[in-house]
Amino acid sequence: MISQYEFSLFDPQKMRASVLPDKPGNYIIVLRSTSSLPIKMQISTTPILTSFQYKKEKYNVVYVGKSSKSLRIRDYKQHFTGTAGNSTIRKSLGCLLGFKLIPRDINSPQNGKTTFGEFDERTLTEWMKDNLLLFYYANNDYANVEKELIRTYNPPLNLQGNFNKTNLDFRKELSALRSCTSAKQVSIPNNHLKLKTYPQQMQCSNCGINLTIDEGLKNEEYIKCLSCGCIIQNPIYIQNKKKKERRQWITVLIFLVVVIIFNISSREYSTSLKGNNRIENYGSNKGPSQTEAMAGVRVYLKRHYLKDPDSYEGISWEAFGVYNKNNNTYFALHKYRAKNSYGGYVVEERLFVLDSDGNVIKVVDDMNEVINGY
C-alpha cells in the first residue's frame, strides 16, 4: 500500500498553482474538516466516506485520480479552475449542487458532451476552493497507484474502475444524474434555483433554504441567500427580461414591416408619409456608408457604452436606413455579445442613431419610440 507520507498538501485557498509539480502522478481530493458533500434531493442515498490521515488530521476522501503529464495542469487548471466539460469531479459536484447540464459544443450539441453555464461554473469553482483540499504524489507508476487508491478509499465520486459494493447505489444515482437520465432530475434554470408553484417562492440549491422574492427584489438581476451567502440569479428578473425581449422583437418586426410599407408607398404618397418614411439606402452623398456606420457604432460601444470593451463580439447587422429626414439622421440595428458588470456574457440588440458623419448620437432601447417618431 502507498504510504500516506508520500503525499503533500495543496490548499487552493492559500497556495499558488506553481506549488504543484509539473510532473505525472496521483492525487487525492478530500473535504475540509468542516465541509460535506452537497447531497441534494436528486440523490436519495448518502455515501459512506473513508478518511485520509495527514499530520494526525483525518479528512474524508471524495475522489482520487491520476495525471499522465502534469499534476499542476490536471489538478488546478482543469479541476479547480476549469469547466465540467474537462473535469469528471466538477461535473459530479455540479450535478450534486443541482446545476443544469448543457451541451459543451455549440456546433455539435448532440455529441453527448456536456458542461455547465458560465455562472454555474464560477459558483462551482468557489465552492471547490472553499470546501476541498488536495493531496498529491508525483510518480511514474500512476496507473497502478490509482487502482490501489480506489480500492483503499472507495471514493464515492469515482464512477469508473470502482467496483466496491459500498456506495454502489449512490454511484448509480450519480451516474444517472450526470447522464440526465434520472427521473429525479429537476429542470433547473441557469441560476441553479428550483422554482415552486408560487412564482416568488424558490429554494437555494446551495443550502436548501426556502427563499421568497418580495416586490423590492423583483427587478434585481442577482440576489444573495442570507443563509449561506451564495450569489444567485433572480428567476423573476429572468422571466420578466425574456418577456420584455419578446415584446421588443415583436415591436421591431412591426417597425420593419411598417417602414417597408412606407418606403414602397412613399413614391405615390411622398407628401403624406414624409414623416414616417425612414428606410433608405446608405451611401448617399449626405449620409454615411454602411461601413462608416458600422465603424461608428463599434467605436461608440467600446468607448462609451460597454462595461468590458475588450469582450465585444459582433453577431449581426440587421438593418440600416434613414432615421429622420428632417434632421439628417440615420440608424443601424446591431446585435452583439459582451460581458456585463458581473463578468457574464449577455447578448443585446440595440438601434443606434447616427449623424451624417457616422457618429452615434443616441441609443434606442424602446422600439415604440422609433415607430412613434424621433
pTM of the model as a whole: 0.50
Evaluated on CA atoms 58, 59, 65, 71, the torsion sign reads negative
Which segments of 62-139 does DSSP mark as H helices, in order?
71, 88-96, 118-131
Report d(CA 91, CA 168) in Å as an integer. Answer: 19
The answer to whether 41 and 136 are in contact (CB under 8 A) is no
Residue 323 confidence (pLDDT) above 90 = no
Determine the straight-line distance between the first and last CA of the chain, rounded to whole angstroms.
79
pLDDT in tens, 134-178: 999 999 999 999 999 999 999 999 998 999 999 999 999 888 888
Report d(CA 243, CA 290) in Å as an integer. Answer: 31
pLDDT in tens, 166-210: 999 999 988 888 876 333 333 334 444 443 333 465 666 565 565
Cell representation of residue 267: 413614391
H or E stretch at 345 = strand 345-354
Cα 247–249–252 angle (5° rounding)?
110
Q: Which is more confident, 260 or 25?
A: 25
* Secondary structure (3-state) at 188: coil
DSSP symbol at 146: H
pLDDT in tens, 209-256: 656 666 666 677 777 666 566 777 777 777 788 888 888 888 888 988
DSSP symbol at 16: -
Residue-wise DSSP of 250-276: HHHHHHHHHHHHHHHHTTTSTTTTTTT
The answer to whether 202 and 196 are in contact (CB under 8 A) is yes
